[in-house]
Each structure stands twice: as structure tokens, then as C-alpha cells.
A and B are shown apart, each in its own frame.
Chain A
Amino acid sequence: MNISGLADKTVAICRRDLLTAVRYRSGFLLTAAGAVAELAAFYYLARAIGPGFRPDGLDYFPFLVVGTGFYTFLIMGIHSFLDTVQEAQQTGTLEVLMTTATPPPVMVLLSAMSAFSRQASQFVLYLAAGIMIFRGSLPAPSMAGAFAIFVLSLMIAIAIGMMAAALQLAMQKGSAILWLMGSIAWLMTGTLFPVTTLPKPLRRISEFIPITHALDGMRSALLQGASISTLSREIGILALFCLTLLPLSLVLFSLSLSHARREGTLSCY
């Protein structure tokens, strides 16, 4: 498949998703209202806790905004792979989509990327709204550092997302496992509070969860202006996760798809 063909398919998928989203009129407004309510809750939570609590030397409100915003972006992105397969199973389009001239992993990847771009724009708006609410001063963010962390985290989310899609194909109930994983990550990756407050055994486990390093790196880049060289540890760890998880996820997805074709469960849900 050439680049222009890939671009053409990407445009077609994004157009489909945009048209569908626009035609569910209330969906957009409800999502925006939810984000505003969440920001307000965090603002008053930070005020209630007071200025004395400074996780990793940062004000608590921006710590929360970056943590929850980026966590939500990554988790929702991972979910979008599973949702892509689940929705296609439920709407009856999966068998058709898996037998077009577009290879199935590309199809799932492009569909999820379309959802990812929606999540990314929500993350940027969420951050911008959070900065507007926050009245304290912040150092100039390191955009290069944030971009590097963002790209690597995105690759990891894609890999985990492909595994989630494989799980959905294999057992039709992937969302239950993903919900469990999301809850564990919410607790152990430093989304709401620093990992240093966890007991030592849990702290050790959290080091093996890529989201921990993604959140650390993103906070350092956006809230402390850490340069790429300062972020080299986080970047190295995230790159290692990428190199391991990406090929593994493609193999798992292909095996799961082949199993579903053999068992005749492709459109089961």
C-alpha cells in the first residue's frame, strides 16, 4: 500500500467518524460539559487540600490537570481500539471491514487513530482550560520534550490498544479486562497523587507500567520545562516499551484474528 492510498483511507475513516459524531448532536456538548465539571472538581479539591501539598515540588492543581488529562488521553486511546472492534461486531460491519482490500491491522489502526486525534484535541483543550483557571505562575514548557514523550506514549498506547482489540476478538469481553487494567493504572501510575506515596512493593510494580513514566515525563516537560536531555531516562524507558510492545501487539492481533476466522467467531459479541 502506497502513502497516497494510506492517506486516502485515513481521510475516509476520519470523515466517517466526524460525520457520525456530528450526527449524534448531543454527544459533543455532553463531553465538553463533563470535562468542565471535572476541571472544576479538581480546582476545588486542590483548594481544599491547600498550598502545603506540593507533589514532586509542583502545585497540586496543575499536577492533577496534566496527570488526569494525559491519563485520560492514553486510556481512552487504548479503549478506542477495543471500541472499534466492539462497535463493528455490534453493528455487523466487522466481517465486511475485515475482508476489504485494506489489511485488518491497518484498518483497526486507522480507525483508532481517528479516535486518538479526537482525544488529543480534547486533551489540548482540557490543558488550556486548566491553565486558564490556574492563577499561579509556571515556567515555560519544553515543547520538544512534551512532543517526544507524547509520541512515545502514543506508540505504547497503540500497542496496548492493538492487544485490547486482539482480546476483544478472542473473547468478546475485552472491555472487562481493560476496565480492570485502567483502574489499576489509575491507582498506581501517579495520576492523582505521586507514586512516592505508595508502599514500596506497589512502587516497584508501578515502574513496570509505561503510563507511570509517560505521566512523569509529561509533567516534567509541561510544568517544569525539562529539556529532552533532562528527560532522557523517561524517553529511554518509553522507547524500550515501544520496541517490545509494538511487534508483540501485531503478532497477537494477527493470531487472534486468524483464530476468530477459524472458529467462525469474527462477528460474535
Chain B
Amino acid sequence: MDSIILQSVSKVFHHRPALFNWLGREQGGTTVALDQVSLRVPAGSILALLGPNGSGKTTLLKLISTTLLPDSGRVLVQGADTQVAPQRVRSCVGFAMANERSFFPRLTAQENLDFFAALEDVPRKCRKLRIETTLAHTGLQATTDTLVRKFSSGMYQRLAIARAVIKQPSVLLLDEPTRSLDSGTREDFWCLVRKLAESGTAIVMATHNFEEAAAVGDRVVVLHRGQLAGYRQLGRVAPADLRSFYSQSTGEAGEEYNSESLIESLQ
């Protein structure tokens, strides 16, 4: 069964310049974020979304999570239309956003998770245990009682993942989930993602990391300028093969913007 279905989905953002635009140089116009995109994600599978910056990856995730509504087309999650039954969709979707500033800075990691678990209808009797387990799975057990304003980028990212999985969603959306994680934690996270998929969760993961896409993805979609530029089932595939597939689809090299590649290029 398909957990997520996108049918000819389009999304355009309109930018209206300020009233007295002669004071500055604000540019108006429209941005086509997604153009007639259709895809399906079966339950228990992992879809890796690849694409350059501004290709529409985050927009696609936001459309599935109901943060955004499509201009045309339909988004169905577990059979529910995001425009007709958004609350049904929200109750089964977990979303780890790329935005670090989405927690309450004066609460601890445990208090933040407890708050969001209550909003996500996690039953009170199993909440404590589930928070402890989730914090352990994301490597945050040592910082349970630390105020999150003291967290590093990587810790924020782990907490965002913890928040997304705490409700045990049937659809999990991950926006560049390992961007700030060290390599050890990254591999632990990949194991967690695979386990969740094996338990039946449909996962969509936007990433710039070919190694990550190859390691966890069952299939890959390449977005380019809001359009579906490539689609491929992944068996055992090497990151280099994925990179060449990406280049063929987008006409771009697909460099990963991490510090290691930058240092290498500087040397």
C-alpha cells in the first residue's frame, strides 16, 4: 500500500515587493517551487530526495506535512487528502525540519520532548519510557536535563529527529537530517531509519549526501528546478554511481557542501 501519493502537485510562491520599493531593491516575481510532480512512497520504504538548493525538496516535505498547501494537484497521506483532512494527516506524520530554532530554549531536552509528546497524543502512561528510549536512540541521554539553548547544532538536529519519531509516525519526513552530525552518529542514525522502515514506516528523506542516500534509500528521486528530473530504484549502489545518476538528471556536478570537501578543494 502507498503511504504517500503526490498527484501532479504544483506550488508557486509569489513575492510582492514592499510598498515603497524605490527605497530598496527588493525583487518581486514568482518562484515555481514544484511543477506537476507525481510520486508514490509505499509503506516501509525509504525515498531519498536529491537535488540542488532551491530544487523543491523542502517544499515537497512541507506539502506532505500540511505546513504548505498545494496550488494544484493532490497530496494523499495514508489515504487522507492534505487539503480535505489535514488533521488526519498530521496525526500520522513526523517531520524533522532542518530549522534548528524550533524548540523552547528555556526547557530541557526531556521537557521539550514531553511537551511535544503531549501535543502529539502520546499516551501519558507510556510517555516517560518512550522519551527515555528516544533520547537514548538519538544519543542524547547524557543531556536529558540540559536546557536546549545550550545545545550545539548537532544536538539540536538529534533532538529534532527524536521529536519526529516520538509519536511513532507511520510517515516520517526528514529534511537534511544528518547535516550537522558527526560520522559515528550519522551511521547510528541510518540504522535507526532502516529499523523504522522495517517496522512499516514510510520515510522521505531530503539530503545532499550521496553516501547517505545510497546507504539508506530504497529508491531515489532527483528534483531539479521544481521538476522530477530522475527516479531510480536503489539496490546495492555505490555513492559514485548515484552521483553520476544525479549529474545525468540535473546536468550539475552535485558537490556536497561539507567542510571536508571545502578543505580538500582549498588544498
Q: Which residues of A contact B (CB under 8 A)?
A: 5, 8-9, 11-13, 15-16, 19-20, 23-24, 91-93, 95-103, 107, 258, 261-264, 266-267
Q: For the complex, what is the distance from the CA of A12 to the CA of B99, rounded to whole Å?
A: 23
- The reply to whether A264 and B68 form a contact with Cβ atoms under 8 Å apart is yes
What residues of chain B lie closer than 8 Å to A19, measured between beta carbons?
Answer: 106-107, 111
Q: For the complex, what is the distance from the CA of A95 to the CA of B101, rounded to whole Å?
A: 11
Could you tell me the distance in whole angstroms from the C-beta of B107 to the nearest C-beta in chain A? 6
- The reply to whether A100 and B120 form a contact with Cβ atoms under 8 Å apart is yes
Interface hub of B66, B87, B114 (most chain A Cβ within 10 A): B87
- The reply to whether B115 and A258 form a contact with Cβ atoms under 8 Å apart is no
- The reply to whether B119 and A101 form a contact with Cβ atoms under 8 Å apart is yes
The 8 Å CB contact of A16, one of B87, B104, B120, is B104
Q: For the complex, what is the distance from the CA of A264 to the CA of B69, rounded to whole Å?
A: 8
- The reply to whether A9 and B93 form a contact with Cβ atoms under 8 Å apart is no
What residues of chain A lie closer than 8 Å to B91, measured between beta carbons?
Answer: 101
- The reply to whether A24 and B106 form a contact with Cβ atoms under 8 Å apart is yes
Could you tell me the distance in whole angstroms from the C-beta of A35 to the nearest C-beta in chain B? 23
Task: Report the interface size for chain B: residues with CB under 8 A from the other chain.
Answer: 37
- The reply to whether B107 and A16 form a contact with Cβ atoms under 8 Å apart is yes
Q: For the complex, what is the distance from the CA of A69 to the CA of B115, rounded to whole Å?
A: 32
Instruction: Look across to chain B and name the residue whose beta carbon is closest to the beta carbon of A11.
Output: B118
- The reply to whether B121 and A101 form a contact with Cβ atoms under 8 Å apart is yes
Q: For the complex, what is the distance from the CA of A92 to the CA of B100, rounded to whole Å?
A: 8
The 8 Å CB contact of B71, one of A9, A15, A103, A262, is A262
Q: For the complex, what is the distance from the CA of A154 to the CA of B93, rounded to whole Å?
A: 35
- The reply to whether B111 and A258 form a contact with Cβ atoms under 8 Å apart is no
The 8 Å CB contact of A95, one of B13, B69, B99, B118, is B99
Q: For the complex, what is the distance from the CA of A262 to the CA of B163, rounded to whole Å?
A: 25
Q: For the complex, what is the distance from the CA of A262 to the CA of B82, rounded to whole Å?
A: 12
- The reply to whether A12 and B102 form a contact with Cβ atoms under 8 Å apart is no
7 contacts between A and B (CB under 8 A): A11-B118, A16-B115, A23-B106, A23-B147, A96-B163, A101-B119, A102-B119
What residues of chain B lie closer than 8 Å to A15, measured between beta carbons?
Answer: 111, 115
Q: For the complex, what is the distance from the CA of A163 to the CA of B121, rounded to whole Å?
A: 27
Q: Which residues of B contact A (CB under 8 A)?
A: 11, 13-14, 62, 65-69, 71, 87, 90-91, 93, 95, 97, 99-107, 111, 114-116, 118-121, 124, 147, 163, 167
What residues of chain B lie closer than 8 Å to A101, measured between beta carbons?
Answer: 87, 90-91, 119-121, 167
- The reply to whether A20 and B104 form a contact with Cβ atoms under 8 Å apart is yes
If the complex has contacts A12-B115, A95-B99, A96-B97, are A5 and B121 also in contact, measured as CB distance less than 8 A? yes
Q: A99-B65, A100-B119 are in contact. List 11 more A-B contacts (CB 8 A).
A: A16-B104, A20-B104, A20-B106, A93-B102, A95-B62, A96-B95, A101-B90, A261-B66, A262-B68, A264-B11, A266-B68
The 8 Å CB contact of A261, one of B69, B97, B106, B163, is B69
Could you tell me the distance in whole angstroms from the C-beta of B103 to the nearest C-beta in chain A? 7
- The reply to whether B111 and A16 form a contact with Cβ atoms under 8 Å apart is yes
Q: For the complex, what is the distance from the CA of A107 to the CA of B69, rounded to whole Å?
A: 20
Q: For the complex, what is the distance from the CA of A92 to the CA of B95, rounded to whole Å?
A: 14
Could you tell me the distance in whole angstroms from the C-beta of A268 to the nearest C-beta in chain B? 11
Q: For the complex, what is the distance from the CA of A258 to the CA of B102, rounded to whole Å?
A: 21
- The reply to whether A91 and B71 form a contact with Cβ atoms under 8 Å apart is no
What residues of chain A lie closer than 8 Å to B90, measured between beta carbons?
Answer: 99-101
Would you list the 10 A-B pairs with minimal beta carbon distance, nearest first? A12-B118, A92-B101, A100-B119, A101-B91, A23-B106, A20-B106, A92-B102, A102-B119, A261-B69, A101-B121
Instruction: Look across to chain A and name the residue whose beta carbon is closest to the beta carbon of B33.
Output: A264
The 8 Å CB contact of A93, one of B71, B104, B111, is B104
What residues of chain B lie closer than 8 Å to A24, measured between beta carbons?
Answer: 106
Could you tell me the distance in whole angstroms from the C-beta of B158 to the nearest C-beta in chain A? 16
What residues of chain B lie closer than 8 Å to A8, measured between beta carbons?
Answer: 118, 124
- The reply to whether B67 and A98 form a contact with Cβ atoms under 8 Å apart is yes
- The reply to whether B119 and A95 form a contact with Cβ atoms under 8 Å apart is no
What residues of chain A lie closer than 8 Å to B111, measured between beta carbons?
Answer: 15-16, 19
What residues of chain A lie closer than 8 Å to B62, measured between beta carbons?
Answer: 95, 264
Q: For the complex, what is the distance from the CA of A160 to the CA of B71, rounded to whole Å?
A: 31
The 8 Å CB contact of B99, one of A9, A92, A107, A261, is A92
What residues of chain A lie closer than 8 Å to B65, measured between beta carbons?
Answer: 99
What residues of chain B lie closer than 8 Å to A23, measured between beta carbons?
Answer: 106, 147
Instruction: Look across to chain A and name the residue whose beta carbon is closest to the beta carbon of B105.
Output: A91
- The reply to whether B93 and A99 form a contact with Cβ atoms under 8 Å apart is yes
What residues of chain A lie closer than 8 Å to B115, measured between beta carbons?
Answer: 12-13, 15-16
The 8 Å CB contact of B114, one of A12, A100, A262, is A12
Instruction: Look across to chain B and name the residue whose beta carbon is closest to the beta carbon of A265.
Output: B13
If the complex has contacts A101-B87, A101-B167, are A261 and B120 also in contact, measured as CB distance less than 8 A? no
